[in-house]
């Protein structure tokens, strides 16, 4: 197949949630022999270094830089309208021209939109909002929502007051309506878990909704393939290392770390005064740097070249998420590394078949502290950590392979490709554009 792959962020390097998923799916499609035409946006100057690696995989690449501050300003005038602010944020005339040129050149069999805002490059908001024949993509369309983003904004709004809270509530409402319209217009909609899929099915009952789980590279995330971090501390001296990983400018991660440091860590340290909490991830928010400056038990590393030594050194990995959607890659990676993981129910909701033998679920400060302490205390805790880590790695090797996810996605794309011929869709799109102008 010839696949137009549109992504709101460049899928490289695969070092954070959405980029891990988009990279592995794109690489898998390319290595399976499909011609992938990648159009994406770059919101970090460091992303430019990834264009070469992607060009080696893809038939063509258009990676367009956007500036977050300018994108936010571009979105503001749309507050009075009906469309989600996410759409103007991710708009680019240059990328739109490339998409139109790629389609006009012919040969594209199917489009894969990674996240709903980039559907706007195929189905402009005004035509999608019109519904009916106007809401048709020029090529068969599959949308990887990853998760239901509007629900994330609803969670943000519930924890935020004032004008910012109002903006979040508006985004949740308008994005939910847009997501439902996109799902109805696409040949298929893809999500990471049945929990997320059920949310979208409730929003758009007539849509075809499929699940393509996240995977994990268990050959890379292998405890035997990497040395432990030499700064892990001395277990003989009673040190215990608790680790959290993730992009540390992401609001749900910031919230999780602040909550754990304030509500759980003090209880743990009363039982284990040598316990330390290490926060590993890029671009840490100022409040986290301030936290580390105030509390010697908290370490904030910033970007690291390799997260695996920190995971291997951890006595316990925590994922106390109170906001966020979908499958948490941080949990899968820690499990693949044979770590004992304690996570909130929200962080585990996408794992489905995982049990307490593979990962510990805890909700609330007392329960979370108790679960962590049960893994830290004496020989019994050490035995539990070893057993849980071994079971966790075995579980992800069985249930979370990128190969299985890619096979599902290929089937969905092929089914979409066999739908309405591209020529008929292009004619419909042209009529819709004339009618809505």
Say yes or no: 144 and 230 in one domain: no
If one compares 413 and 354, the residue with the highest pLDDT of the two is: 413
Instruction: Count Cβ atoms below 10 Å from residue 238 Cβ, excluding itself.
Output: 11
Q: What is the mean pLDDT of residues 24-35?
A: 97
Q: How many structural domains compose the chain?
A: 2
CATH number for 345: 3.40.50.2000
Q: What percent of the chain has pLDDT over 70?
A: 91
- Model confidence band, residue 272 (pLDDT cutoffs 50, 70, 90): very high
72 shares its domain with 11: yes
Indicate if 75 and 168 belong to the same structural domain: yes
Q: What is the mean pLDDT of residues 321-334?
A: 84
Instruction: Give me the pLDDT at residue 233, please.
Output: 45
pLDDT at 231: 54
- Verify that 181 and 267 share a domain, yes or no: no
- Is 423's pLDDT higher than 80? no
Residue 286 has pLDDT above 50, yes or no: yes
Region of poorest pLDDT, from 36-40, 55-59, 219-223, 348-352? 348-352
Asked whether the predicted pLDDT for residue 429 surpasses 50, the reply is: no
Q: Do residues 419 and 329 share a domain? A: no
Q: 209 and 278 share a domain?
A: no
Q: How far is CA 79 from CA 84, 168, 293, in A?
A: 8, 11, 38
Q: Examine the domain organization and report whether 238 and 353 are in the same domain.
A: yes
Report residue 432's pLDDT band, with 50, 70 and 90 as the boundaries: very low
- Looking only at the bridges linking them, the beta strands covering 316-319 and 341-343 are parallel
Least confident among 292-301, 338-347, 428-437:
428-437
Considering the domain architecture, whether residues 196 and 267 belong to the same structural domain is answered as: no
- Convert the pLDDT of each residue in 124-172 to its tens digit: 987 787 665 546 789 999 999 999 999 999 999 998 999 999 999 999 9
- Asked whether residue 420 carries a pLDDT value surpassing 80, the answer given is no
Helix (H, G, I), strand (E, B) or coil at 159: coil
CA gap 250, 254 in Å, rounded: 6
Lowest mean pLDDT among 75-84, 114-123, 308-317, 321-330: 321-330
What pLDDT band is residue 356 in, cutting at 50, 70 and 90? confident
Q: Cβ contacts of residue 341 below 8 Å, gap of 6+?
A: 316, 317, 318, 319, 331, 334, 335, 359, 360, 388, 392
Asked if residue 287 and residue 181 are part of one domain, the reply reads: no
Q: What is the DSSP string of 175-189?
A: HHHHHHHHHHHSSEE
Q: Which two tokens stand for residue 12?
A: 């490289």
**Range(s) of the domain holding residue 381:** 223-399
By C-alpha distance, which of 336, 118, 101 is closest to 218? 336
Could you tell me if 208 and 296 lie in one domain? Answer: no
> Are 342 and 430 members of one domain?
no
- Please indicate, yes or no, whether residues 313 and 412 belong to a single structural domain of this protein: no
Give the pLDDT confidence score for residue 226 in this predicted structure.
84
Check residue 315 and give its pLDDT. Answer: 96
Average pLDDT, the chain: 90
Listed in order, strand segments (DSSP E) in 95-213 are: 110-114, 141-146, 188-191, 209-211
Question: Could you report how far apart the first and last alpha carbons of the chain are, in Å?
Answer: 33
* 55-69, 131-145, 200-214, range with the lowest pLDDT: 131-145
């Amino acid at each position: 197949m010839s696949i137009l792959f549109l992504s709101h962020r460049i899928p490289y390097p695969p070092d954070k949630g959405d980029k891990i998923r988009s990279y592995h799916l794109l690489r898998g499609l390319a290595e399976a022999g499909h011609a992938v035409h990648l159009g994406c946006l770059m919101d970090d100057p460091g992303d430019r270094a990834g264009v070469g690696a992607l060009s080696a995989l893809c038939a063509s690449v258009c990676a367009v830089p956007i500036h977050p501050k300018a994108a936010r300003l571009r979105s503001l005038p749309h507050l009075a309208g009906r469309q989600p602010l996410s759409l103007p944020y991710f708009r680019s005339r240059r990328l739109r021209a490339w998409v139109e040129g790629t389609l006009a050149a012919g040969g594209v069999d199917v489009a894969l939109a990674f996240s709903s805002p980039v559907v706007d490059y195929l189905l402009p908001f005004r035509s999608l909002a019109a519904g009916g024949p106007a809401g048709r993509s020029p090529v068969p369309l599959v949308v990887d929502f990853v998760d239901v983003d509007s629900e994330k904004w609803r969670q943000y709004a519930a924890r935020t007051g004032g004008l910012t809270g109002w903006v979040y509530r508006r985004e949740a409402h308008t994005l939910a309506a847009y997501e439902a319209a996109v799902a109805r217009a696409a040949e298929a909609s893809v999500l990471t878990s049945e929990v997320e899929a059920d949310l979208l099915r409730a929003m758009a009952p007539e849509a075809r909704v499929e699940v393509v789980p996240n995977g994990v590279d268990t050959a890379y995330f292998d405890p035997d393939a990497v040395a432990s971090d030499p700064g892990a501390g001395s277990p003989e001296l009673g040190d215990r290392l608790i680790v959290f990983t993730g992009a540390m400018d992401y609001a749900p991660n910031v919230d999780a770390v602040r909550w754990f440091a304030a509500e759980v860590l003090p209880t743990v340290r009363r039982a284990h005064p040598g316990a330390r909490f290490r926060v590993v991830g890029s671009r840490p928010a100022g409040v986290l740097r301030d936290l580390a400056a105030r509390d010697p038990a908290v370490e904030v590393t910033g970007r690291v070249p390799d997260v695996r030594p920190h995971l291997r050194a951890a006595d316990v990995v925590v994922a106390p998420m109170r906001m966020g959607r979908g499958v948490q890659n941080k949990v899968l990676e820690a499990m693949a590394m044979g770590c004992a993981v304690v996570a909130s129910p929200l962080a585990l909701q996408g794992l489905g078949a995982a049990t307490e033998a593979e990962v510990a679920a805890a909700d609330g400060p007392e329960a979370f502290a108790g679960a962590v302490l049960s893994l830290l205390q004496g020989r019994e805790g050490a035995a539990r950590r070893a057993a849980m880590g071994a079971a966790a790695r075995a579980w992800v090797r069985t249930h979370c392979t990128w190969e299985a996810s890619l096979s599902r996605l290929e089937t969905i794309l092929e089914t979409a490709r066999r739908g309405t011929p591209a020529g008929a869709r292009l004619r419909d799109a042209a009529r819709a554009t004339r009618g809505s102008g």
